[in-house]
Chains A and B, each alone.
Chain A
Amino acid sequence: MSELTRKSLSEIRALLAEKAVSASEVTQACLARIEATEPRVQALLSVQAEAALKTTKALDAAGPDPAKPLWGVPLVIKDVLCTKDAPTTCGSKILEGFRPVYDATAVARLKSAGAVLLAKANMDEFAMGSTTENSAYFATRNPWDMERVPGGSSGGSGASVAACQCFGALGTDTGGSIRLPASFCGIVGLKPTYGRVSRFGMVAYGSSLDQIGPMTRTVEDAARVLAAIAGHDERDSTSVDRPVPDYLAAIADNKSLKGLTIGLPAEYWDRGLAPEVAEACGAAVKQAEALGAKTVRVNLRLSEYAIATYYIIATAEASSNLARFDGVRYGYRDKDAASLMDMYVKSRTKGFGAEVQRRIILGTYVLSSGYYDAYYRKAAQVRRLIRQDFEAALSQCDLLAGPVCPTTAFKVGEMTSDPLQMYLMDIFTISTNLAGLPGMSLPVGPGRESGMPVGLQLTGRAFDEALLLQAAHALEQNVSAAGTPAL
């Protein structure tokens, strides 16, 4: 692999800014890397090579612009985000051939910051899944071990970054979909506080849970991408009108964790963790203590109710959000339909995959007359209790730490027969979306047994991404780097 593609986003950004390399050179290196690795990794659904090189030609002609913090940096975008005139399928057949006529706000902001959009990443269909095996197109492989899953639903984004096809990617996270693939692929993944990043142009799955966030090889890289996309957007009424802190200043040269208190939830450490995960995460916490942090045991007693709460709320919201896919204005329309109703039914039945249909049925059921109070309203009440549970824990510490997942990446096909078993993989990540808090995954070294990456999750108070990044950065400088997969 070209030495260029191995660099971090921050490194390449600096080289581009000082004209040590041209934007075209860097993008060409990424395109070559994509060509070399895609037959095996299959991280991408579409590559916008021509458009990317047109962009870099214009960028190089104008020269580096210090007002554009991501000038010339090639990035990959999860296919759930609308990219103007470029395919956007959400990993589904129902949107095969669909090309949005506008950019998602997060995408537009990256473009304004000078970034180059290389490709759209594979994902579980409509973000429903934890392994990217639910993509209607193909399954993405983990660059560290081709027999294993990259995690999901942002598995394409995670694999693309880990394989050095790009310098960073946007993923989305509704129940762990940035943090889990980041953990399985050995990269950094950050899910911002709900409302921190605009959801305009993100095809909605669970509107009260969804967030867009960066997936990168280093913490500094994540800070740079978050800085570019965060902030209020008039077009998303759930985005919060709150100033964006200077994330780069927050992580600058901070090598010590003195004064920081880290909470360790008993429910995340005491339950069935694979020994290699407990070991790697435990070592990272010890390292944090060596850097001056204090640790305290805390409780999140409502953890055992999180999955049930999540699957009621997420599927209910999804059943409503996916009602728009009816063959009328865009997407797949069945041509043999005899009537309007027949058109709706046939288009949706043929266009949606099995997991999506299953969740639509579950969501429709829990919202239906007679069941709404027992399920959806009850889940919303438990949701408030879960948030209070976090607030109580976070009053005893500055942030929480625990494994992202009880295991490292498992083999392709291992989890696909039992949907409930698959849902349980999200056990440590899901509560964060219910509470609306920020969470990030930091790679803390390979698991002793499998050699696969292990991710430590840091969860913070609402809008406290600066503290998460600061703590993660200090830890990152002192934990043995996993390197890049031999691909």
Chain B
Amino acid sequence: MTIPFTHILFLAILLFAMGAACAMTRKNLFMILIGVEVMLNAAGIAFVAAAMRWQDMNGQIMALFVMTVAAAEIAVALALIVCIQRRTRYTNVDHCSMLKG
């Protein structure tokens, strides 16, 4: 049996909202990063679902792109976190406030 398209979309929305909430509320840099990853994967799920719904391979290709971007992003982000940790001795995002107005 096939899962209805709307169900998958609801799953994606749910995941995206949870990721966004995580990115917005958490102070720990790692947790923010995880939130961003969740949001990206929610988008990937939506793409795959759309590909199945319309029988179009472009959606799957986009999902592959999203995964690639996520990998690249996590590599840069982890390097940045290491950098920040070395400078401020914390991985808490509230300590990164040098550009405060």
A and B from one assembly?
no
List residues of B whose CB falls within 8 A of some A CB: none
